[in-house]
Protein backbone atom coordinates (compact mmCIF):
# COMPACT_ATOMS: atom_id res chain seq x y z
CA UNK A 1 0.00 0.00 0.00
CA UNK A 2 1.45 3.36 -1.00
CA UNK A 3 0.62 4.92 2.41
CA UNK A 4 3.20 2.75 4.18
CA UNK A 5 6.04 4.29 2.17
CA UNK A 6 7.65 7.17 4.01
CA UNK A 7 8.23 10.23 1.85
CA UNK A 8 11.79 11.06 0.84
CA UNK A 9 11.57 14.33 2.76
CA UNK A 10 10.43 12.60 5.95
CA UNK A 11 13.20 10.00 5.63
CA UNK A 12 15.83 12.74 5.23
CA UNK A 13 14.48 14.62 8.24
CA UNK A 14 14.35 11.43 10.33
CA UNK A 15 18.04 10.80 9.53
CA UNK A 16 18.91 14.36 10.58
CA UNK A 17 16.98 13.92 13.84
CA UNK A 18 18.63 10.55 14.41
CA UNK A 19 22.01 12.30 14.26
CA UNK A 20 20.81 14.97 16.74
CA UNK A 21 18.74 12.89 19.19
CA UNK A 22 19.29 15.05 22.32
CA UNK A 23 17.35 17.83 20.54
CA UNK A 24 14.14 15.80 20.82
CA UNK A 25 14.24 16.18 24.60
CA UNK A 26 13.77 19.93 24.09
CA UNK A 27 10.22 19.82 22.70
CA UNK A 28 7.97 21.89 24.99
CA UNK A 29 4.51 20.89 26.25
CA UNK A 30 1.89 23.02 27.97
CA UNK A 31 -1.71 22.12 28.80
CA UNK A 32 -4.79 24.27 29.39
CA UNK A 33 -7.77 22.45 30.88
CA UNK A 34 -11.21 24.04 31.20
CA UNK A 35 -13.90 22.72 33.54
CA UNK A 36 -17.18 23.89 35.01
CA UNK A 37 -17.70 24.32 38.74
CA UNK A 38 -20.88 22.49 39.75
CA UNK A 39 -22.95 22.04 42.89
CA UNK A 40 -23.42 18.78 44.81
CA UNK A 41 -26.49 18.01 42.71
CA UNK A 42 -24.62 18.53 39.42
CA UNK A 43 -25.98 21.98 38.57
CA UNK A 44 -23.93 24.96 37.39
CA UNK A 45 -22.40 26.80 40.37
CA UNK A 46 -23.77 30.33 40.56
CA UNK A 47 -21.12 31.52 43.03
CA UNK A 48 -18.40 34.01 42.02
CA UNK A 49 -14.90 32.77 41.14
CA UNK A 50 -13.47 31.83 44.57
CA UNK A 51 -11.19 34.52 46.03
CA UNK A 52 -9.05 31.76 47.50
CA UNK A 53 -7.99 30.84 43.93
CA UNK A 54 -6.67 34.34 43.35
CA UNK A 55 -7.55 36.83 40.63
CA UNK A 56 -8.89 35.40 37.37
CA UNK A 57 -7.25 38.41 35.69
CA UNK A 58 -3.70 38.04 36.99
CA UNK A 59 -3.19 34.47 38.25
CA UNK A 60 -1.30 32.76 35.42
CA UNK A 61 -2.20 29.22 36.54
CA UNK A 62 -5.88 29.48 37.48
CA UNK A 63 -8.30 31.71 35.62
CA UNK A 64 -11.78 31.57 34.09
CA UNK A 65 -12.72 31.12 30.47
CA UNK A 66 -16.13 32.31 29.30
CA UNK A 67 -18.21 32.01 32.44
CA UNK A 68 -17.55 32.89 36.06
CA UNK A 69 -18.25 29.16 36.61
CA UNK A 70 -15.86 27.92 33.90
CA UNK A 71 -12.41 27.45 35.42
CA UNK A 72 -9.27 27.22 33.31
CA UNK A 73 -6.05 25.66 34.58
CA UNK A 74 -2.79 26.52 32.79
CA UNK A 75 0.50 24.68 33.18
CA UNK A 76 3.91 26.12 32.33
CA UNK A 77 5.53 24.88 29.09
CA UNK A 78 7.94 22.12 30.12
CA UNK A 79 10.22 19.75 28.21
CA UNK A 80 9.01 16.64 30.05
CA UNK A 81 5.29 15.95 29.49
CA UNK A 82 5.24 13.95 32.75
CA UNK A 83 6.14 17.17 34.60
CA UNK A 84 3.52 19.12 32.64
CA UNK A 85 0.86 16.61 33.75
CA UNK A 86 2.19 16.70 37.32
CA UNK A 87 1.81 20.48 37.28
CA UNK A 88 -1.80 20.09 36.04
CA UNK A 89 -2.47 17.53 38.78
CA UNK A 90 -1.15 19.89 41.47
CA UNK A 91 -3.37 22.73 40.24
CA UNK A 92 -6.39 20.41 40.57
CA UNK A 93 -5.39 19.43 44.12
CA UNK A 94 -4.98 23.06 45.14
CA UNK A 95 -8.35 24.02 43.63
CA UNK A 96 -10.07 21.16 45.45
CA UNK A 97 -8.64 22.42 48.73
CA UNK A 98 -10.61 25.65 48.15
CA UNK A 99 -13.84 24.47 46.49
CA UNK A 100 -15.87 23.70 49.62
CA UNK A 101 -18.96 21.76 48.57
CA UNK A 102 -18.50 22.38 44.84
CA UNK A 103 -17.06 19.99 42.25
CA UNK A 104 -15.21 20.07 38.94
CA UNK A 105 -17.41 18.68 36.14
CA UNK A 106 -15.63 15.72 34.56
CA UNK A 107 -16.51 15.79 30.79
CA UNK A 108 -16.41 18.37 28.01
CA UNK A 109 -20.15 18.77 27.43
CA UNK A 110 -21.81 20.85 30.16
CA UNK A 111 -23.93 19.87 33.12
CA UNK A 112 -27.68 20.65 33.04
CA UNK A 113 -27.62 24.43 32.61
CA UNK A 114 -29.91 27.15 33.95
CA UNK A 115 -31.75 29.55 31.64
CA UNK A 116 -29.40 31.42 29.25
CA UNK A 117 -29.58 34.66 31.23
CA UNK A 118 -28.61 32.84 34.44
CA UNK A 119 -25.27 31.58 33.12
CA UNK A 120 -22.87 34.08 34.72
CA UNK A 121 -20.34 35.83 32.45
CA UNK A 122 -16.80 36.00 33.85
CA UNK A 123 -15.83 39.18 35.73
CA UNK A 124 -12.29 40.57 35.85
CA UNK A 125 -12.61 43.73 37.93
CA UNK A 126 -12.66 47.42 37.07
CA UNK A 127 -9.32 47.90 35.26
CA UNK A 128 -9.58 48.68 31.57
CA UNK A 129 -8.09 45.33 30.55
CA UNK A 130 -10.43 43.56 33.02
CA UNK A 131 -13.44 45.35 31.55
CA UNK A 132 -12.25 44.56 28.02
CA UNK A 133 -12.19 40.84 28.84
CA UNK A 134 -15.71 41.04 30.30
CA UNK A 135 -17.19 43.01 27.37
CA UNK A 136 -15.57 40.58 24.91
CA UNK A 137 -17.45 37.76 26.68
CA UNK A 138 -20.69 39.77 26.59
CA UNK A 139 -20.12 39.93 22.84
CA UNK A 140 -19.67 36.15 22.68
CA UNK A 141 -22.97 35.73 24.53
CA UNK A 142 -24.69 38.07 22.08
CA UNK A 143 -23.21 36.35 19.03
CA UNK A 144 -23.29 32.65 19.93
CA UNK A 145 -25.36 32.33 23.10
CA UNK A 146 -24.10 31.55 26.58
CA UNK A 147 -24.88 27.84 26.41
CA UNK A 148 -22.29 27.21 23.66
CA UNK A 149 -19.62 28.91 25.74
CA UNK A 150 -20.00 26.37 28.57
CA UNK A 151 -18.40 23.57 26.54
CA UNK A 152 -14.97 22.72 27.97
CA UNK A 153 -11.90 21.20 26.36
CA UNK A 154 -8.19 20.57 26.63
CA UNK A 155 -5.71 22.69 24.71
CA UNK A 156 -2.35 21.05 24.06
CA UNK A 157 0.49 23.48 23.36
CA UNK A 158 3.51 21.99 21.60
CA UNK A 159 6.73 23.32 20.16
CA UNK A 160 9.62 21.64 18.38
CA UNK A 161 13.13 22.54 19.63
CA UNK A 162 14.19 26.04 18.52
CA UNK A 163 17.64 24.65 17.58
CA UNK A 164 16.13 22.12 15.16
CA UNK A 165 14.88 24.67 12.62
CA UNK A 166 18.30 26.10 11.59
CA UNK A 167 19.59 22.51 11.11
CA UNK A 168 16.64 21.64 8.84
CA UNK A 169 16.88 24.93 6.97
CA UNK A 170 20.58 24.37 6.27
CA UNK A 171 20.10 20.72 5.27
CA UNK A 172 17.40 21.77 2.81
CA UNK A 173 19.39 24.77 1.55
CA UNK A 174 16.40 27.04 2.14
CA UNK A 175 16.85 30.71 1.23
CA UNK A 176 14.40 31.78 3.97
CA UNK A 177 15.57 33.43 7.17
CA UNK A 178 15.51 31.20 10.27
CA UNK A 179 12.35 32.95 11.45
CA UNK A 180 10.52 32.60 8.13
CA UNK A 181 11.61 28.98 7.69
CA UNK A 182 10.35 28.14 11.19
CA UNK A 183 7.01 29.89 10.60
CA UNK A 184 6.54 28.15 7.24
CA UNK A 185 7.30 24.79 8.88
CA UNK A 186 4.69 25.36 11.60
CA UNK A 187 2.11 26.40 8.99
CA UNK A 188 2.99 23.18 7.09
CA UNK A 189 2.41 21.26 10.35
CA UNK A 190 -1.05 22.88 10.56
CA UNK A 191 -1.88 21.82 6.98
CA UNK A 192 -1.02 18.22 7.82
CA UNK A 193 -2.95 18.52 11.07
CA UNK A 194 -6.01 19.50 9.04
CA UNK A 195 -5.47 16.40 6.87
CA UNK A 196 -5.08 13.96 9.75
CA UNK A 197 -6.80 15.41 12.86
CA UNK A 198 -9.81 13.15 12.28
CA UNK A 199 -7.57 10.44 13.75
CA UNK A 200 -7.36 12.33 17.07
CA UNK A 201 -11.16 12.57 17.18
CA UNK A 202 -11.49 8.80 16.72
CA UNK A 203 -8.81 7.96 19.30
CA UNK A 204 -9.59 10.57 21.97
CA UNK A 205 -13.13 11.88 21.32
CA UNK A 206 -15.09 11.44 24.55
CA UNK A 207 -18.39 13.28 24.04
CA UNK A 208 -20.88 10.95 22.32
CA UNK A 209 -23.80 12.16 24.51
CA UNK A 210 -25.14 15.38 26.02
CA UNK A 211 -27.82 16.74 28.31
CA UNK A 212 -31.10 17.29 26.42
CA UNK A 213 -31.39 20.84 27.76
CA UNK A 214 -28.15 21.84 26.03
CA UNK A 215 -29.97 22.16 22.69
CA UNK A 216 -32.57 24.60 24.10
CA UNK A 217 -35.20 23.04 21.86
CA UNK A 218 -33.20 23.45 18.64
CA UNK A 219 -33.86 20.85 15.89
CA UNK A 220 -31.29 18.03 15.76
CA UNK A 221 -30.63 14.54 14.42
CA UNK A 222 -29.61 12.99 17.73
CA UNK A 223 -31.13 9.84 19.21
CA UNK A 224 -32.78 9.57 22.62
CA UNK A 225 -30.76 7.67 25.24
CA UNK A 226 -33.17 8.47 28.08
CA UNK A 227 -35.46 11.34 29.12
CA UNK A 228 -32.48 13.61 29.94
CA UNK A 229 -29.89 12.44 27.41
CA UNK A 230 -29.36 12.66 23.65
CA UNK A 231 -26.57 10.86 21.80
CA UNK A 232 -25.38 9.34 18.56
CA UNK A 233 -24.49 5.64 18.74
CA UNK A 234 -21.23 5.93 16.74
CA UNK A 235 -20.27 9.52 17.68
CA UNK A 236 -16.82 10.26 19.05
CA UNK A 237 -17.07 13.99 19.81
CA UNK A 238 -20.39 15.85 19.61
CA UNK A 239 -18.43 18.76 21.11
CA UNK A 240 -16.55 19.14 17.82
CA UNK A 241 -19.61 18.53 15.61
CA UNK A 242 -21.89 21.19 14.17
CA UNK A 243 -23.85 20.99 17.46
CA UNK A 244 -20.89 22.63 19.19
CA UNK A 245 -19.54 25.98 18.09
CA UNK A 246 -21.44 27.44 15.16
CA UNK A 247 -21.16 30.87 13.65
CA UNK A 248 -22.80 32.24 10.54
CA UNK A 249 -20.47 35.23 10.64
CA UNK A 250 -17.42 32.97 10.61
CA UNK A 251 -18.78 30.66 7.90
CA UNK A 252 -17.04 32.66 5.16
CA UNK A 253 -13.85 32.97 7.19
CA UNK A 254 -11.49 30.21 6.19
CA UNK A 255 -7.96 31.38 6.97
CA UNK A 256 -5.65 30.01 4.35
CA UNK A 257 -2.83 27.94 5.80
CA UNK A 258 -0.59 28.40 2.76
CA UNK A 259 1.69 30.80 4.61
CA UNK A 260 1.76 32.96 7.72
CA UNK A 261 1.02 36.21 5.86
CA UNK A 262 -2.20 34.94 4.24
CA UNK A 263 -3.31 33.48 7.61
CA UNK A 264 -2.73 36.70 9.57
CA UNK A 265 -4.24 38.76 6.72
CA UNK A 266 -7.52 36.84 6.80
CA UNK A 267 -7.83 37.28 10.58
CA UNK A 268 -6.86 40.95 10.40
CA UNK A 269 -9.56 41.56 7.81
CA UNK A 270 -12.16 39.70 9.88
CA UNK A 271 -11.38 41.86 12.92
CA UNK A 272 -11.82 44.96 10.76
CA UNK A 273 -14.82 43.97 8.57
CA UNK A 274 -18.33 44.90 9.78
CA UNK A 275 -20.93 42.11 9.86
CA UNK A 276 -24.43 43.53 9.18
CA UNK A 277 -26.36 41.63 11.92
CA UNK A 278 -23.81 42.79 14.52
CA UNK A 279 -23.89 46.34 13.13
CA UNK A 280 -27.65 46.29 13.64
CA UNK A 281 -27.18 45.51 17.34
CA UNK A 282 -24.41 48.08 17.80
CA UNK A 283 -21.80 48.16 20.56
CA UNK A 284 -24.01 49.71 23.28
CA UNK A 285 -27.43 49.09 24.74
CA UNK A 286 -28.94 51.49 27.28
CA UNK A 287 -25.51 53.09 27.65
CA UNK A 288 -23.69 49.83 28.42
CA UNK A 289 -21.18 48.01 26.22
CA UNK A 290 -22.61 44.79 24.73
CA UNK A 291 -19.75 43.89 22.34
CA UNK A 292 -16.30 45.31 21.57
CA UNK A 293 -17.15 46.05 17.93
CA UNK A 294 -19.58 45.06 15.19
CA UNK A 295 -17.06 43.19 13.03
CA UNK A 296 -16.94 39.51 12.01
CA UNK A 297 -14.57 38.97 14.93
CA UNK A 298 -14.24 41.20 18.00
CA UNK A 299 -10.65 39.99 18.47
CA UNK A 300 -8.60 37.38 16.61
CA UNK A 301 -9.03 34.74 19.35
CA UNK A 302 -12.75 34.64 18.60
CA UNK A 303 -11.96 32.61 15.47
CA UNK A 304 -12.84 28.99 16.27
CA UNK A 305 -10.23 26.60 14.90
CA UNK A 306 -8.96 23.14 15.79
CA UNK A 307 -5.35 24.33 15.89
CA UNK A 308 -3.69 27.76 16.07
CA UNK A 309 -0.21 29.04 15.28
CA UNK A 310 0.97 30.93 18.39
CA UNK A 311 3.71 33.11 19.81
CA UNK A 312 4.03 34.39 23.36
CA UNK A 313 2.95 38.04 23.18
CA UNK A 314 4.48 40.95 25.06
CA UNK A 315 2.32 42.91 27.53
CA UNK A 316 -0.23 44.94 25.58
CA UNK A 317 0.59 43.18 22.30
CA UNK A 318 -2.13 41.38 20.35
CA UNK A 319 -1.62 37.72 19.32
CA UNK A 320 -1.63 38.63 15.63
CA UNK A 321 0.96 41.38 16.19
CA UNK A 322 3.27 38.92 17.94
CA UNK A 323 2.95 36.43 15.06
CA UNK A 324 3.62 39.05 12.39
CA UNK A 325 6.53 40.59 14.24
CA UNK A 326 8.39 37.47 15.38
CA UNK A 327 6.88 34.46 13.61
CA UNK A 328 5.32 31.21 14.88
CA UNK A 329 6.75 29.78 18.10
CA UNK A 330 4.41 26.86 18.86
CA UNK A 331 1.01 25.38 18.01
CA UNK A 332 -2.09 25.14 20.19
CA UNK A 333 -4.18 22.00 19.53
CA UNK A 334 -7.76 22.86 20.49
CA UNK A 335 -9.91 19.92 19.42
CA UNK A 336 -9.25 17.54 22.33
CA UNK A 337 -12.14 16.43 24.51
CA UNK A 338 -11.69 16.03 28.23
CA UNK A 339 -11.55 12.31 29.04
CA UNK A 340 -14.11 11.93 31.88
CA UNK A 341 -12.38 8.76 33.11
CA UNK A 342 -9.12 10.61 33.87
CA UNK A 343 -8.84 12.91 36.91
CA UNK A 344 -7.10 15.70 34.96
CA UNK A 345 -8.80 14.80 31.67
CA UNK A 346 -5.65 13.64 29.84
CA UNK A 347 -2.84 11.20 30.63
CA UNK A 348 0.77 10.53 29.72
CA UNK A 349 0.17 7.91 26.97
CA UNK A 350 -2.10 10.42 25.18
CA UNK A 351 0.54 13.13 25.54
CA UNK A 352 3.26 10.81 24.21
CA UNK A 353 1.11 9.94 21.20
CA UNK A 354 0.29 13.61 20.54
CA UNK A 355 4.01 14.40 20.50
CA UNK A 356 4.69 11.70 17.89
CA UNK A 357 1.62 12.76 15.88
CA UNK A 358 2.59 16.45 15.88
CA UNK A 359 6.21 15.67 15.01
CA UNK A 360 4.93 13.61 12.09
CA UNK A 361 2.71 16.51 10.95
CA UNK A 362 5.70 18.86 11.21
CA UNK A 363 8.25 16.71 9.38
CA UNK A 364 6.14 14.95 6.73
CA UNK A 365 5.78 16.54 3.32
CA UNK A 366 2.92 19.06 3.37
CA UNK A 367 1.67 20.31 0.02
CA UNK A 368 -0.56 23.38 -0.16
CA UNK A 369 -4.24 22.65 0.48
CA UNK A 370 -6.40 23.12 -2.60
CA UNK A 371 -10.08 24.01 -2.07
CA UNK A 372 -11.15 20.44 -2.89
CA UNK A 373 -8.78 18.98 -0.32
CA UNK A 374 -9.84 21.62 2.24
CA UNK A 375 -13.44 20.49 1.85
CA UNK A 376 -12.45 16.82 2.13
CA UNK A 377 -10.50 17.58 5.35
CA UNK A 378 -13.56 19.23 6.90
CA UNK A 379 -15.90 16.46 5.70
CA UNK A 380 -13.62 13.70 7.06
CA UNK A 381 -13.40 15.47 10.42
CA UNK A 382 -17.19 15.88 10.66
CA UNK A 383 -17.80 12.27 9.63
CA UNK A 384 -15.54 11.00 12.39
CA UNK A 385 -16.94 13.21 15.17
CA UNK A 386 -20.50 12.10 14.33
CA UNK A 387 -19.99 8.46 13.34
CA UNK A 388 -16.32 7.58 13.73
CA UNK A 389 -17.06 4.16 15.28
CA UNK A 390 -19.52 3.09 12.60
CA UNK A 391 -18.26 -0.25 11.21
CA UNK A 392 -16.86 0.18 7.70
CA UNK A 393 -16.97 4.02 7.83
CA UNK A 394 -15.26 5.45 4.74
CA UNK A 395 -13.36 8.73 4.44
CA UNK A 396 -12.10 10.60 1.37
CA UNK A 397 -8.38 10.50 0.52
CA UNK A 398 -7.04 11.93 -2.75
CA UNK A 399 -10.54 11.78 -4.20
CA UNK A 400 -11.00 8.11 -3.35
CA UNK A 401 -12.91 6.33 -0.59
CA UNK A 402 -10.82 4.56 2.07
CA UNK A 403 -12.04 2.93 5.28
CA UNK A 404 -11.20 4.78 8.49
CA UNK A 405 -9.73 1.58 9.87
CA UNK A 406 -7.30 1.06 6.97
CA UNK A 407 -6.24 4.70 6.80
CA UNK A 408 -5.81 4.93 10.59
CA UNK A 409 -3.58 1.82 10.64
CA UNK A 410 -1.52 3.18 7.76
CA UNK A 411 -1.14 6.55 9.46
CA UNK A 412 -0.04 4.91 12.71
CA UNK A 413 2.56 2.95 10.74
CA UNK A 414 3.90 6.23 9.30
CA UNK A 415 3.96 7.89 12.75
CA UNK A 416 5.75 4.90 14.36
CA UNK A 417 9.30 5.97 13.29
CA UNK A 418 8.75 9.31 15.09
CA UNK A 419 7.66 7.49 18.25
CA UNK A 420 10.75 5.29 17.92
CA UNK A 421 13.05 8.33 17.67
CA UNK A 422 11.39 9.90 20.73
CA UNK A 423 12.02 6.66 22.65
CA UNK A 424 15.65 6.64 21.56
CA UNK A 425 16.02 10.23 22.76
CA UNK A 426 14.28 9.69 26.10
CA UNK A 427 15.25 6.05 26.73
CA UNK A 428 12.62 3.37 27.33
CA UNK A 429 9.67 2.46 25.12
CA UNK A 430 6.85 4.69 26.41
CA UNK A 431 6.10 6.22 23.00
CA UNK A 432 5.97 2.80 21.32
CA UNK A 433 3.58 1.62 24.04
CA UNK A 434 1.39 4.69 23.47
CA UNK A 435 1.32 3.83 19.74
CA UNK A 436 0.26 0.27 20.63
CA UNK A 437 -2.66 1.58 22.70
CA UNK A 438 -3.88 3.62 19.73
CA UNK A 439 -3.60 0.69 17.29
CA UNK A 440 -5.67 -1.38 19.73
CA UNK A 441 -8.44 1.26 19.54
CA UNK A 442 -8.32 1.16 15.74
CA UNK A 443 -8.65 -2.64 15.84
CA UNK A 444 -11.44 -2.54 18.44
CA UNK A 445 -13.59 0.59 18.64
CA UNK A 446 -15.04 -0.46 22.02
CA UNK A 447 -11.70 0.63 23.56
CA UNK A 448 -12.18 4.28 22.52
CA UNK A 449 -13.22 6.77 25.24
CA UNK A 450 -16.44 7.61 23.37
CA UNK A 451 -17.50 3.94 23.32
CA UNK A 452 -16.57 3.54 26.98
CA UNK A 453 -18.72 6.52 28.00
CA UNK A 454 -21.78 4.95 26.35
CA UNK A 455 -20.90 1.51 27.77
CA UNK A 456 -20.74 2.88 31.34
CA UNK A 457 -24.00 4.81 30.92
CA UNK A 458 -25.66 1.62 29.68
CA UNK A 459 -24.11 -0.56 32.39
CA UNK A 460 -25.24 1.77 35.20
CA UNK A 461 -28.57 2.58 33.49
CA UNK A 462 -27.82 6.28 33.88
CA UNK A 463 -28.01 9.30 31.62
CA UNK A 464 -25.22 11.71 30.72
CA UNK A 465 -25.60 13.98 33.76
CA UNK A 466 -25.62 11.15 36.31
CA UNK A 467 -22.65 9.42 34.67
CA UNK A 468 -20.73 12.70 34.62
CA UNK A 469 -21.49 13.52 38.25
CA UNK A 470 -20.43 10.04 39.33
CA UNK A 471 -17.08 10.59 37.61
CA UNK A 472 -16.80 14.09 39.13
CA UNK A 473 -17.32 12.70 42.64
CA UNK A 474 -14.73 9.96 42.06
CA UNK A 475 -12.17 12.54 40.86
CA UNK A 476 -12.90 14.80 43.84
CA UNK A 477 -12.22 11.89 46.17
CA UNK A 478 -8.99 11.13 44.27
CA UNK A 479 -7.67 14.67 44.70
CA UNK A 480 -8.87 15.22 48.26
CA UNK A 481 -7.44 11.89 49.44
CA UNK A 482 -3.93 13.11 48.61
CA UNK A 483 -3.60 16.81 49.40
CA UNK A 484 -0.54 18.80 48.34
CA UNK A 485 2.56 18.89 50.50
CA UNK A 486 2.45 21.93 52.84
CA UNK A 487 5.19 23.73 50.86
CA UNK A 488 3.33 23.19 47.57
CA UNK A 489 0.05 24.38 49.10
CA UNK A 490 1.82 27.44 50.46
CA UNK A 491 3.30 28.25 47.06
CA UNK A 492 -0.14 28.18 45.40
CA UNK A 493 -1.63 30.32 48.17
CA UNK A 494 1.16 32.87 47.77
CA UNK A 495 0.54 33.09 44.00
CA UNK A 496 -3.21 33.50 44.63
CA UNK A 497 -2.64 36.25 47.20
CA UNK A 498 -0.14 38.09 45.02
CA UNK A 499 -2.49 37.92 42.01
CA UNK A 500 -5.26 39.63 44.04
CA UNK A 501 -2.79 42.34 45.09
CA UNK A 502 -1.70 42.75 41.47
CA UNK A 503 -5.30 43.19 40.29
CA UNK A 504 -5.92 45.78 43.02
CA UNK A 505 -2.75 47.63 41.98
CA UNK A 506 -3.86 47.65 38.32
CA UNK A 507 -7.23 49.09 39.33
CA UNK A 508 -5.71 51.79 41.53
CA UNK A 509 -3.20 52.88 38.90
CA UNK A 510 -5.68 52.84 36.01
CA UNK A 511 -5.59 55.98 33.93
CA UNK A 512 -7.80 56.83 30.99
CA UNK A 513 -11.36 56.21 30.02
CA UNK A 514 -12.53 52.68 29.05
CA UNK A 515 -14.11 53.88 25.77
CA UNK A 516 -10.77 55.41 24.72
CA UNK A 517 -8.98 52.22 25.79
CA UNK A 518 -11.24 50.12 23.53
CA UNK A 519 -10.70 52.58 20.68
CA UNK A 520 -6.92 52.30 21.01
CA UNK A 521 -7.18 48.51 21.21
CA UNK A 522 -9.22 48.39 17.98
CA UNK A 523 -6.83 50.81 16.27
CA UNK A 524 -3.84 48.59 17.12
CA UNK A 525 -5.05 45.90 14.72
CA UNK A 526 -5.94 48.34 11.95
CA UNK A 527 -2.51 49.94 12.19
CA UNK A 528 -0.71 46.73 11.25
CA UNK A 529 0.44 46.84 7.67
CA UNK A 530 2.09 44.09 5.73
CATH number of the structural domain spanning residue 343:
3.30.590.20
Is it the case that residue 12 has pLDDT exceeding 50? yes
257 phi/psi in degrees, rounded to 5: -100, 35
| pLDDT value for 3 | 45
As a whole number, mean pLDDT of residues 350-367 equals: 97
| pLDDT value for 125 | 97
Q: What is the pTM of this model?
A: 0.96
Per mean pLDDT, which range of 239-243, 252-256, 281-285, 371-375 is the poorest?
252-256
As a whole number of angstroms, the distance between CA 234 and CA 5 comes to 31
As a whole number, mean pLDDT of residues 345-364 equals: 98
As a whole number, mean pLDDT of residues 171-196 equals: 96
| pLDDT value for 2 | 40
As a whole number, mean pLDDT of residues 253-270 equals: 83
Percent residues over pLDDT 90 in the chain: 86
Is it the case that residue 456 has pLDDT exceeding 70? yes
Is it the case that residue 198 has pLDDT exceeding 60? yes
8 Å CB contact between 416 and 439: no
Is it the case that residue 18 has pLDDT exceeding 70? yes
Q: What residue numbers bound the domain in which 485 lies?
A: 2-526
As a whole number of angstroms, the distance between CA 322 and CA 242 comes to 31
Domain count, the chain: 1
| pLDDT value for 245 | 57
3-state DSSP call for residue 71?
Answer: strand
Is it the case that residue 225 has pLDDT exceeding 50? yes
Is it the case that residue 113 has pLDDT exceeding 90? yes
As a whole number, mean pLDDT of residues 198-209 equals: 98
CA distances from 164 to 25, 117, 167, 185, 190 (A): 11, 50, 5, 11, 18
State the Cα torsion 51-56-60-65 to the nearest 10°.
130
3-state DSSP call for residue 35?
Answer: strand
pLDDT band at 471 (very low <50, low <70, confident <90, very high): very high
| pLDDT value for 5 | 63
As a whole number of angstroms, the distance between CA 435 and CA 420 comes to 10
| pLDDT value for 247 | 62
Is it the case that residue 252 has pLDDT exceeding 60? yes
Strands (E), 288-365: 288-289, 307-310, 330-336
Amino acid sequence: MKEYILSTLLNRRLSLLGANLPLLKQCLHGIERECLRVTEDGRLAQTPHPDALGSALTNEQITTDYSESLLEFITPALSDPALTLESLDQIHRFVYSKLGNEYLWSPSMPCPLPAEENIPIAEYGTSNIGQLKHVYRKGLALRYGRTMQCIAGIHYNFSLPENLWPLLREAEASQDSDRDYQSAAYIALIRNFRRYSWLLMYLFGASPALDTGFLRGRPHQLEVFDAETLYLPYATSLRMSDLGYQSNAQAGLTPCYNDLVSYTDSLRQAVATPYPPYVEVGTHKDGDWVQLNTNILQIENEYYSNIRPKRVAYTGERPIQALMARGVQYVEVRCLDINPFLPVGIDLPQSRFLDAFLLFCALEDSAQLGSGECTACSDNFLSVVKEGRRPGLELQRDGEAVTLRDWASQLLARIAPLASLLDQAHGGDEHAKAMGLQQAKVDDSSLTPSAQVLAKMTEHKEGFARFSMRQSLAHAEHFRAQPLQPAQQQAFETVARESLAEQARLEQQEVGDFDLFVGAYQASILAISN
